[in-house]
Amino acid sequence: MKIKQRVILAGAGHANIAALRLLSKNLPDAEFVLVNDGEKAWYTGALPALIRGDIPPEQAYIDAGRLAKTCGARFIDAKFLGFDSNWARLSEGEPVHFDFLAISTGASLDGGVKPIGEFLRRLERWAQMPRPDIAILGGGAAAIELALALRIRLSKKARITIMASGTILDGAPKPVRQAVFKHLNAAKIPVLPKMPLMMDEVLRAYTPEPVLRVRETLQLESQENVFATGDCALFPTKLPRSGAIAVRQGRTLAANLRRALAGQPLRPFSPPRHTLAILSLTASTATAWYGNHSWTGRLAMALKTNRDSAWLTVGEPPS
């Protein structure tokens, strides 16, 4: 009897979820194992709505165990610690052998919003404080969404500051940056180049540089049967740090896992020239841009809500 090859998907990141969903439509003759630290695969795109109180927690994550079962894979509830040769090291149990490994664990960053369960507990504590002082490090979309959502959740009693040494939303069209500053000013959230003194909490809302160097095929430079995607992967050319890129990588990952299992040549990941970005401003308003084209208002938020719902329920979101 032929022994099936084993594919371990380490981490329920965007790319691994997209790849697993695609593979499940015509599952190759192999054993697929999804490893994640907890059954809740939190979706960071829904975090602003969750912080504001627009949605309950159960509408902000994918049940990773249920997803694996639905897609014909086995689920292991454990933290992925790394690998040695062809063995994955996990926080629970013995190392697990693999023929192919796909890592999509995100970036490692202390002091941010992850793990989200712990962040939500901190949020409840801030809500009980008479005047919490919170500094947010970073000048990207994550920092802005976090600051504006915290203002709504904690009301005017909180002191919220964004600390960014460079340009806010560098690379975004001018109308987008204008809309963002308009909302930050209305919410009385200053953007400062230096850390204010005596802060109660400091949140890091930026993505550190990835550490896993990959080839254009998403294989590690150091081991060809190991793939890495998303924020943990350093691609040969600089890529935007976004869920849209990770989902597209997931499509290439799914195709390359099929090819690798069949002993066929792999194909490179071709980054898109532009991706659609949507930044949540309030419960009903967002700003969106694609290349140099942008728009702000309820339509942008309706599009974001639709895409978020698609990701959390059925197939992949549109790119």
Q: What is the distance of C-alpha 68 from the center of its chain?
A: 19
Please report the DSSP string for 229-297 in residue order. -GGGEE-SS----SHHHHHHHHHHHHHHHHHHHTTPPP------S---EEEE-SSS-EEEEETTEEEEE
Half-sphere exposure of 110 (CA within 13 A, CB side): 0
pLDDT of res. 53 = 93
pLDDT of res. 299 = 97
pLDDT of res. 118 = 87
Residue 137 β-bridge partners: 163, 204
Whether the CB-CB separation of 132 and 158 falls below 8 Å is answered with yes
CATH for 5-109+207-261 (3.30.70.60, 1.10.3720.10, 3.50.50.60, 3.40.50.720): 3.50.50.60
116-206+275-312 adopts what CATH topology? FAD/NAD(P)-binding domain (3.50.50)
pLDDT of res. 27 = 87
Find the helix or strand (DSSP H, E) in which 90 lies: strand 87-90
Tens-place pLDDT, residues 102-145: 999 987 655 577 778 888 999 999 999 999 999 999 999 999 99
- The answer to whether the 5-109+207-261 and 116-206+275-312 domains have the same CATH topology is yes
pLDDT of res. 211 = 85
Which residue positions in the chain have pLDDT lower than 70? 1-2, 108-111, 196-197, 314-319
Domain ranges of the chain: 5-109+207-261, 116-206+275-312
pLDDT of res. 314 = 53
Q: Which residue has the tokens 């790119």?
A: 319
Token pair for residue 218? Answer: 């998403």
- On whether the pTM is more than 0.75, the answer is yes
**Cis status of the peptide bond prior to 28, with omega within 30 of 0:** no
Half-sphere exposure of 111 (CA within 13 A, CB side): 15
Integer Cα distance of 243 and 296 in angstroms: 20
Tens-place pLDDT, residues 62-79: 999 999 999 999 999 999
pLDDT of res. 197 = 64
Integer Cα distance of 54 and 75 in angstroms: 30
pLDDT of res. 207 = 74
pLDDT of res. 317 = 45
Whether the CB-CB separation of 67 and 41 falls below 8 Å is answered with yes
Query: Do strands 74-77 and 30-36 pair parallel, antiparallel, or not at all (unpaired)?
Result: parallel
Helices H, strands E: what count in the chain?
8, 19
